[in-house]
Each structure stands twice: as structure tokens, then as C-alpha cells.
């Protein structure tokens, strides 16, 4: 602790920090409580100013107990001036270097001046935390000061010496992942989870944010937390409707200040499990999109959907690596890897990210590239929301203006044959053709087209960027399976590519899982139909996506997307009723267990959420052992307190 020899530079920083907080105190806040149970804000300010005069008196040669540790008579609006005067007196009193080595009189006896002054710095740092908490001020405090104060406290105030003349309560355990201020507060006997009245804290945050800040029970709260997934939803203590990156920064700083976890939601498709409490940042208002046709790139904000990005790119004869559903949020899709309509030709969407703007747990807005932050750039692309809130990203676009695509639907009696034919057919097609097959039980409901109502069908989807005539030749073996309920294959503008899957846009309750497999054969086709077909006790949609091609190759700049050796992705999804979850979970497990010999892992974007957190083996299945280890190391570097844990959470490496 070299600073113990001369704590004056630390005092200057601590005084700057305190002065900024004192300047922010409005008269109506003076009666608010603080983490120091015996002080309201007015009494705390009196103690700070009085204590500064006391240590100044010590520096002038007097005894500490000759001066009260309070400052009576200060007007409600006079605290900034009172502290400035006390601070100036302290600077003058301790200007002579000799005072640092001289013995001085402190309340507990005599000590070298440098120790007395270091003790005052510790108190000033601790009281800055007290005041920031009381005011609901979420601006980051000086972490180095807290480390200095904590080191001094452990030397001068060991836990076993509390009580009696030592003016601190018994040390308390720090919260898991606490920063230096949380650890200091707990060591000095403060409740590290202390927070002011939630309504006032939220009001202080609302003053910094351009969008809405809502708490449970307030008008607009339920609509703000709602997403595409309705089986379960977040119930945060505070939801912030961000409009700008600065709004996101304010929300993250607020969460860090109060030790709250953070989650992010744009459209709510990929919700892994419901989060109770914490802060939810809703990015749906951040919908900016820009296309640079010369550079062949698109920039979009955190809430932009592919339905906005695709048409903007199409105006220039370009296409992004979007997924099947235009109403899905683009940023979340890419952060989870991004397996889309052109993937076998160009790879995962995460392979083609140029840059990301992200707010990390320290409240910094960073522009992240492969050169600026290589580890963070690697982890963000595939690691979902574990490392910060991505406010915008720039991605590559590709020269695809039109494609040959659409679908073929076969009725139940041909479903297994269609699946068997499809699986063998995938061995023959070029990389320019990306496809999937869905085994779909359509409900008997009025909103379903009459020719599909109540039917179990095999739906083959095609996206081919080559010549349409060659596309016709390539799909001939599929058409030969037999009569089709639907045959929508055609040449189309890329802007109409959302019609290939025609995914439902209406929010609904569902849960699902997925496995990436090394291969599937005729027996697998039979297993899928037997376990999930018309005779199954659980209504399930099974989708099998053909991988390989560019998906199997390492990108130019590596990322966290795993299992590139997989040949197919098998996902299973079921609608959820009131009491269905365990029954659905068992049915899904039965299917994936049957495929287990060929399973190589799981895919983040297709683990639709079953209300359970992904931990241990489930996380390793997403990223592989080596990938998971590196991700947790990056997590420890950028989010050691695990602030961003309301997702497929990766705990920081220890």
C-alpha cells in the first residue's frame, strides 16, 4: 500500500467524488434515509462536513475530540459551500509533508499523520457510497478508491475488533459478485443490498432515460415486458424502454449500483426462462437501419427486426444473412449464431459481423471490432447476452437480389417417405441450396388455411441462389415423392424470402429444445414420425435443418459458435397449456434421447426455453468444453459480477 505513505492524492479524488454527490443533493432529499441507519441525508452531510473539519484540526496540531464530527447550522442549500470550505481547510492543514510522519491525536489514541489521513479517506469513500445509494445516483464510483479504502479497513479495523470505541458494526458477508464498493460496505457493517424506496430510485433513473421506466403495477408495465413467448415472461423490478445507447448505459449503471441483474429483450423470441426481479432493458424502440451499398454492409440497432433490414438491403440488390422469420430481432439472432436462409453458402450470420456497439457491465459504451477487443469480439458472436447489451452492429451483405425458393407440403400418408427422401437428397445438393423439413401437426382452428386444417404434414423449404431452371432440376426428386398439398416453389425477389417458411407472427406459448447431429438416416425418419407424429400424446413440431457447406468451415475471424461438424439441426417445439410443461419436456427428451448416438451438441437460438436455466452440462452442450471455458474467462474479464445473467448464463471463471 504505497499510498499509505502519502494518502493526499487519494483524498483529492475522494473529495472530488464526494463534492459531485453533494452538489446533486436537492433540499427535498435531505430527510431521506441512508445505508447508515443513524443518519438521514442531512445528518450524513453534517457528519461528512464535520468530520472533514475534525481531520483538518488534527492536521493543524489539535486533538480530534476537540472538534465535533457534525456541522450544525448549515442551510438546506448550503451543503456544497460548506463542504468546499471544509475541504480547503483540510488541504491547507495537511500541506506540510512533515504532518504525515508526525504523531497526531485521533479518537482512539495516537497515530502517524499519514494513518490518520488514510482513515479519513476510507470514511470519505464509504460515505460516497452511502450518499450515492441514498440519492439513487447510479453514476459509477471510483473503483480504485474503494480498493484503497477496503485495504486500509482490513488493516485498521479487523472484524474481531468491532464494537466499543470502534465506530463500525460487525462485518457482513458481501453479495456474490459484489464490486469493490459492495465489499467495502459489507466489511464496514453496511447492508450491501441496501436500496432506497424503489419508487424514488426508479424516478431517479427515469430522469436520465428518454424512454419509459416502469415498475410492476404501473400502466404500461405488462405491455413493455411482453414478448413473442407467452408461456412465461420476465417480471423485472424495473423495465427500461430504451430509445438510445445512452438510455442503455443509464439502465446498466442503475443495475450495477443496486446489485441487480440485467436482461435484454427486443422481440422476446429467444426467452430461455422467466426472470423475477432485476432490470429488463427493452430495446424495441431502437430500430435504426442503415445500408452502405458500396461497402456491402448494414448497420442496425438493437430493436430492429429483419423485416426492416431485408427491404433496405434489397433496394441495392443485396441480402443479409437473415433467418426464416422477418419479425425476429436481428441483433439477438446474430448474437446466438444466426442460422438462416443462405447459411450453407455463406455460413452463420455471426461469421460476418464487422463491429458491435455494446454497453459492458462497467457502464462503458464500447465500439468492438476484431482489432479493438479480440476476446470480447469473439465471445459476443455466439455468446448471446452474457457480456453486455449490444446497442447496434454492422454486418456484411451479399449480392443476392433474387432466389429460387418456397415449399413443398405432403400429407400424413407421405410424411415419413418425404422425410426419408429429404434426408438422402441432402447428400446430393450444392452449397448454394439451403433447406429444411418441418413435420407439422396443424391444429383444427379457423385461422389455419382450410386445406391444412387438422392435418399432419411434411413441409420442405428451399432457398437456392442459383439458376431457377437448375433449381427445378434439383427439387425433382422431392416432387417425385407424390402429390403435394402445397407447391410454392418459384423464383422470387429476396425481399419476399420471408414467405418460404411463413412462420407465425402471433405471440403464443411454447417450449422447445434442439440437438445438432452428425447424421440422420431412414431409421431416424421413422423414429421422428413415431415419437412426434399423429399418434403422439404431445403436439410437436419437429424441424430438421440441413447444415454443412460454409457452416462447417471456420470463419476468417473466429467466434464462439460451436459444433461446426454437425450435419443436421433437429429442433422440437410444442405449444404449452396450463399443465403441459412436464409432459412436453418428457416427450422432447424422448425424441432427443433417441437421436443421442449422433448428437454433437445444442444450438443457442433453437433452445426455445422450457422455463429452466441452462447450467453445467447444458451449457457445455451449447459451446463445447473448450469454448465454454474461454467464454467464462472472457466473462470474468468483462462482467466479473455476473450482471448480465438473465440469459443462457455463463458464470465468470473463478
Interval 471-483: pLDDT, tens: 999 999 999 999 9
- Sign of the C-alpha dihedral computed for residues 598, 604, 610 and 611 taken in this order: positive
* pLDDT confidence of residue 380: 98
Rounded to 5°, the CA angle 10-15-19 comes to: 155
Taking residue 361's Cβ as centre, other Cβ atoms within 10 Å add up to: 23
Query: In this model, does residue 168 exceed pLDDT 60?
Result: yes
- Sign of the C-alpha dihedral computed for residues 214, 220, 222 and 226 taken in this order: negative
User: For a pLDDT cut of 90, what percent of the chain falls above it?
Assistant: 73
Measure the CA–CA gap between 5 and 112, rounded to whole angstroms: 10
Whether 566 and 518 have beta carbons less than 8 Å apart is answered as yes
> Which one, of 114, 112, 138, lies nearest residue 202 by Cα?
138
402-410/353-359 β-pairing: unpaired
3-state class (DSSP) for residue 416: helix
If you average pLDDT over residues 350-361, what whole number do you get? Answer: 98
pLDDT band at 382 (very low <50, low <70, confident <90, very high): very high
Measure the CA–CA gap between 32 and 557, rounded to whole angstroms: 52
pLDDT in tens, 281-297: 999 999 999 999 999 99
Measure the CA–CA gap between 130 and 18, rounded to whole angstroms: 10
pLDDT in tens, 49-68: 999 999 999 999 999 999 99
Taking residue 32's Cβ as centre, other Cβ atoms within 10 Å add up to: 17
If you average pLDDT over residues 256-283, what whole number do you get? Answer: 84
3-state class (DSSP) for residue 262: strand
Grid coordinates standing for 561?
A: 459458435
510-517/599-601 β-pairing: antiparallel
pLDDT in tens, 230-252: 887 889 999 999 999 999 999 99
* pLDDT confidence of residue 626: 96
Higher pLDDT, 233 or 315: 315
Rounded to 5°, the CA angle 74-78-80 comes to: 120
The dihedral region occupied by 160, where left means phi > 0, alpha psi between -120 and 50, and beta the remainder, is alpha
If you average pLDDT over residues 195-211, what whole number do you get? Answer: 84
pLDDT band at 2 (very low <50, low <70, confident <90, very high): very low
Q: Residue 579: CB partners within 8 Å, gap ≥ 6?
A: none
The phi and psi torsions of 347 (rounded to 5 degrees) equal 95, -170
Grid coordinates standing for 239?
A: 423495465
Measure the CA–CA gap between 562 and 628, rounded to whole angstroms: 10
Measure the CA–CA gap between 101 and 120, rounded to whole angstroms: 16
If you average pLDDT over residues 541-556, what whole number do you get? Answer: 97
* pLDDT confidence of residue 389: 98
Measure the CA–CA gap between 328 and 384, rounded to whole angstroms: 15
Query: In this model, does residue 504 exceed pLDDT 90?
Result: no
Whether 600 and 563 have beta carbons less than 8 Å apart is answered as yes
The dihedral region occupied by 166, where left means phi > 0, alpha psi between -120 and 50, and beta the remainder, is beta
Whether 539 and 501 have beta carbons less than 8 Å apart is answered as no
Measure the CA–CA gap between 641 and 651, rounded to whole angstroms: 9
Whether 399 and 320 have beta carbons less than 8 Å apart is answered as no
pLDDT band at 163 (very low <50, low <70, confident <90, very high): low
User: For a pLDDT cut of 70, what percent of the chain falls above it?
Assistant: 96
3-state class (DSSP) for residue 366: strand
Query: In this model, does residue 177 exceed pLDDT 90?
Result: no
* pLDDT confidence of residue 116: 94
Higher pLDDT, 362 or 396: 396
Rounded to 5°, the CA angle 412-416-421 comes to: 125
* pLDDT confidence of residue 340: 94
* pLDDT confidence of residue 393: 98
pLDDT in tens, 613-622: 566 788 999 9
Measure the CA–CA gap between 230 and 232, rounded to whole angstroms: 5
Q: Residue 578: CB partners within 8 Å, gap ≥ 6?
A: none
If you average pLDDT over residues 344-349, what whole number do you get? Answer: 98
238-241/279-282 β-pairing: parallel
> Which of the residue ranges 28-37, 235-244, 444-453 has the most confident prediction, judged by mean pLDDT?
235-244
- Paired with 292 in beta bridges are 297
Burial category of 215 from C-beta neighbours within 10 Å (exposed 0-12, middle 13-18, buried 19 and up): middle
Taking residue 616's Cβ as centre, other Cβ atoms within 10 Å add up to: 9
Query: In this model, does residue 612 exceed pLDDT 70?
Result: no
> Which one, of 641, 649, 632, 642, lies nearest residue 181 by Cα?
641
Whether 597 and 523 have beta carbons less than 8 Å apart is answered as no
pLDDT band at 511 (very low <50, low <70, confident <90, very high): confident
**End-to-end C-alpha distance for the chain, whole angstroms:** 25
* pLDDT confidence of residue 377: 98
Measure the CA–CA gap between 288 and 295, rounded to whole angstroms: 18
Chain center to CA of 374: 19
DSSP secondary structure, 108-147, as one string: TEEEEHHHHHHHHHHHHHHHHHHHHHHHT--SPP-HHHHH
Query: In this model, does residue 579 exceed pLDDT 70?
Result: no
If you average pLDDT over residues 521-533, what whole number do you get? Answer: 91
Measure the CA–CA gap between 112 and 91, rounded to whole angstroms: 17
> Which one, of 274, 340, 303, lies nearest residue 561 by Cα?
340
pTM over 0.85: no
Measure the CA–CA gap between 261 and 339, rounded to whole angstroms: 29
pLDDT band at 101 (very low <50, low <70, confident <90, very high): very high
Taking residue 476's Cβ as centre, other Cβ atoms within 10 Å add up to: 10
* pLDDT confidence of residue 1: 42
3-state class (DSSP) for residue 106: strand
Rounded to 5°, the CA angle 126-127-130 comes to: 95
pLDDT band at 159 (very low <50, low <70, confident <90, very high): low
Measure the CA–CA gap between 466 and 620, rounded to whole angstroms: 38
If you average pLDDT over residues 109-129, what whole number do you get? Answer: 94
DSSP secondary structure, 296-317, as one string: TEEEEETT-BHHHHHHHHHTTT
Least confident window among 231-240, 307-316, 595-604: 231-240
Q: How many helices (H) and strands (E) does the chain have?
A: 19, 20
Whether 309 and 268 have beta carbons less than 8 Å apart is answered as no
Amino acid at each position: 500500500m504505497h499510498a499509505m505513505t502519502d494518502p493526499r492524492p487519494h483524498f483529492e479524488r475522494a473529495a472530488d467524488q464526494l463534492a459531485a454527490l453533494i452538489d446533486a443533493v436537492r433540499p427535498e432529499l435531505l430527510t431521506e434515509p441512508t445505508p447508515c441507519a443513524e443518519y438521514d441525508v442531512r445528518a450524513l452531510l453534517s457528519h461528512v462536513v464535520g468530520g472533514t473539519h475534525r481531520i483538518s484540526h488534527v492536521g493543524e496540531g489539535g486533538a480530534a475530540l476537540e472538534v465535533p464530527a457534525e456541522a450544525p447550522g448549515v442551510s438546506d442549500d448550503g451543503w456544497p459551500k460548506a463542504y468546499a470550505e471544509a475541504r480547503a481547510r483540510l488541504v491547507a492543514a495537511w500541506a506540510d509533508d512533515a504532518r504525515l510522519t508526525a504523531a497526531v491525536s485521533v479518537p482512539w489514541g495516537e497515530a502517524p499523520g499519514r494513518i490518520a489521513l488514510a482513515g479519513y479517506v476510507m470514511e470519505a469513500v464509504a460515505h460516497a457510497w452511502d450518499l450515492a445509494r441514498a440519492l439513487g445516483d447510479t453514476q459509477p464510483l471510483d473503483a480504485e478508491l474503494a480498493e484503497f479504502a477496503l485495504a486500509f479497513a482490513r488493516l485498521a479495523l479487523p472484524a474481531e475488533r468491532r464494537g466499543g470505541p470502534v465506530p463500525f458494526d460487525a462485518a457482513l458477508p458481501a453479495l456474490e459478485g459484489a464490486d469493490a464498493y459492495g465489499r467495502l460496505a459489507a466489511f464496514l457493517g453496511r447492508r450491501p443490498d441496501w436500496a432506497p424506496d424503489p419508487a424514488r430510485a426508479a424516478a431517479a433513473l427515469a430522469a436520465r432515460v428518454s424512454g419509459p421506466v416502469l415498475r410492476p403495477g404501473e400502466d404500461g408495465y405488462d405491455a413493455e415486458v411482453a414478448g413473442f413467448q407467452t408461456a412465461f415472461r420476465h417480471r423485472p423490478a424495473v423495465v427500461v424502454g430504451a430509445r438510445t445507447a445512452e438510455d442503455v448505459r443509464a439502465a446498466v449503471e442503475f443495475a450495477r449500483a443496486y446489485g441487480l441483474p440485467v436482461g435484454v429483450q427486443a422481440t422476446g423470441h429467444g426467452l430461455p426462462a422467466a426472470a423475477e426481479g432485476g432490470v429488463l432493458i427493452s430495446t424495441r424502440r431502437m430500430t435504426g437501419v442503415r445500408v452502405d451499398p458500396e461497402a456491402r454492409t448494414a448497420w442496425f440497432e438493437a430493436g430492429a427486426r429483419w423485416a426492416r433490414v431485408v427491404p433496405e438491403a434489397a433496394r441495392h440488390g443485396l441480402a443479409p444473412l437473415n433467418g426464416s422469420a422477418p419479425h425476429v430481432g436481428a441483433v439477438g439472432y446474430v448474437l446466438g449464431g444466426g442460422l438462416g436462409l443462405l447459411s450453407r453458402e455463406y455460413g452463420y450470420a455471426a461469421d460476418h459481423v464487422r463491429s458491435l456497439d455494446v454497453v459492458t457491465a462497467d457502464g462503458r459504451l464500447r465500439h468492438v471490432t476484431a482489432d479493438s477487443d479480440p476476446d470480447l469480439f469473439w465471445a459476443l458472436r455466439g455468446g448471446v447476452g452474457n457480456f453486455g447489451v449490444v446497442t447496434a452492429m454492422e454486418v456484411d451483405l451479399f449480392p443476392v437480389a433474387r432466389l429460387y425458393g418456397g415449399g413443398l407440403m405432403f400429407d400424413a400418408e407421405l410424411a415419413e417417405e418425404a422425410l426419408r427422401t429429404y434426408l438422402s437428397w441432402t447428400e446430393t445438393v450444392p452449397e448454394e441450396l439451403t433447406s429444411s423439413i418441418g413435420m407439422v401437426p396443424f391444429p383444427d382452428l379457423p385461422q389455419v388455411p382450410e386445406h391444412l386444417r387438422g392435418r399432419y404434414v411434411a413441409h420442405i423449404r428451399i432457398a437456392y441462389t442459383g439458376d431457377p431452371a437448375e433449381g427445378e432440376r434439383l427439387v425433382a426428386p422431392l416432387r417425385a415423392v407424390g402429390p403435394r398439398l402445397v407447391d410454392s416453389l418459384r423464383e422470387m425477389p429476396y425481399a419476399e424470402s420471408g414467405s418460404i417458411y411463413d412462420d407465425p407472427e402471433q405471440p403464443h406459448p411454447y417450449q422447445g429444445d434442439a440437438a445438432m447431429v452428425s447424421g440422420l438416416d431412414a431409421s431416424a425418419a421413422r423414429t421422428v414420425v413415431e415419437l412426434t407424429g399423429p399418434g403422439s400424446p404431445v403436439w410437436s413440431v419437429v424441424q430438421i435443418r440441413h447444415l454443412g457447406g460454409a457452416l462447417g468451415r471456420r470463419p476468417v475471424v473466429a467466434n464462439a459458435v460451436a459444433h461446426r461438424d454437425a450435419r443436421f439441426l433437429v429442433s422440437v417445439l410444442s405449444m404449452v397449456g396450463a399443465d403441459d410443461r412436464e409432459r412436453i419436456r418428457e416427450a422432447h427428451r424422448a425424441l432427443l434421447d433417441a437421436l443421442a448416438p449422433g448428437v454433437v451438441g445444442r444450438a443457442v437460438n433453437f433452445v426455445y426455453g422450457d422455463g429452466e436455466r441452462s447450467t453445467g452440462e447444458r451449457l457445455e452442450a451449447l459451446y463445447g468444453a473448450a469454448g465454454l471455458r474461454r467464454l467464462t474467462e472472457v466473462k470474468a474479464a468483462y462482467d466479473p459480477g455476473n450482471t448480465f445473467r438473465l440469459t443462457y448464463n455463463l458464470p465468470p471463471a473463478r
